[in-house]
Amino acid sequence: MRQKILVTGGAGYIGAHTASVLDKEGYEPVLLDNFSNSDRTLLSGLRKITGKQITFHEGDCNDRSLLHSIFQKEGDIAAVIHFAARRYVGESVEKPLYYYRNNVGSTITLLEVMLEHGVSDFVFSSSCTVYGQPDELPVTEDTPRKPAESPYGNTKKICEDIIQDTVLSGQPIKAAILRYFNPIGTHPSHLMGEVPHGVPNNLIPFLTQAAVGVRPELVVFGDDYDTPDGSCIRDYIDIMDLAEAHVQALKFLRSTEANSLFEIFNLGIGEGKSVLELIKTFEKATGVSLNYKIGPRRPGDVEKVYANVDKASEVLLWKATRDMSESLYNAWQWQLRLGKH
């Protein structure tokens, strides 16, 4: 019998790709989403990829009665992977209370309902934003967290602390905190990818939209940083590698006999690539010439950050295997499916 895994934010970019891997690995994903960050496009792609009508519940993780009804209706949920959160830095600056109520409140409510229903295994979607601009690179899981640059980043820090305090209190929660870096790419079938709402906040959908003509050009924010080519450096990880890491984290939690557990894992490729390097790689992988210009630095941007992923390799038996060229080619094919939308 396949174990049911509740995936909050399951219709989103990372959630839907993780659901596809869960299904492939013999689990039964149960999705929950309110479509505030997503739409039904990825559910259709997921259905085609899996050949199954994946169980889906529409609603908000802050809705305690809805969560109770899902746990009761499904009956035997084995674990929860929690993606659901608002994730736009600029919006969080404008609406901090909304972000705290939504991101932090939903995590508290979910943990409470899990405990009431005797579900202990919890994989939490965190972010490398908690490191800010680190003093040393690459960052390890022991690298000190810096003050958050935005309410969004602060919600990730606060949620990590809430989960850790819950575990330290002796509550039967086994938690894997996954701090990931910059997800890019799509499912290799090109049936699922990133679907931005309005003007994209992330680099890759903006880049592909510029390449297809939806945007007039791509702006590179700054070429005067202390990096080899002057542009910011990030750790870009393929979405399928990232999705597979969530399933490995789940297997790790399911295999441990501890009553309570709190472990943090960095998820990246362990290597930094600059924005200008990424642009050149995209052009080479796709044969498309990109219209871009250099603009001023963007306030709050970190100069460079990339991960040490030794812990994930040793404990989760996971390592990123896909290269940037493959990720960017897949992202371009997805954009061609979307067209000029």
Looking at 75-150, list the stretches that DSSP marks H as alpha helix, in order from N- to C-terminal side.
Answer: 89-94, 96-99, 105-116
Give the tens place of pLDDT for each residue, 260-295: 999 999 999 999 999 999 999 999 999 999 999 999
pLDDT of residue 35: 93
How many Å apart are CA 54 and CA 56, to the nearest integer?
6
Q: Which of 27, 131, 152, 225 is catalytic?
A: 152
- Closest among 246, 328, 207, 319 to 9, alpha carbons compared: 246
| pLDDT band at residue 60 using 50, 70 and 90 as cut-offs | very high
Dihedral angle sign, alpha carbons of residues 253, 258, 262, 267:
negative
| pLDDT band at residue 23 using 50, 70 and 90 as cut-offs | very high
334 by DSSP, 3-state: which?
helix
Are 112 and 122 contacting, i.e. CB atoms less than 8 angstroms apart? no
Check pLDDT > 70 for residue 130.
yes
Are 28 and 2 contacting, i.e. CB atoms less than 8 angstroms apart? yes
- Closest among 23, 312, 335, 24 to 180, alpha carbons compared: 312
Beta-bridge partners for 273? 234
27 is catalytic: no
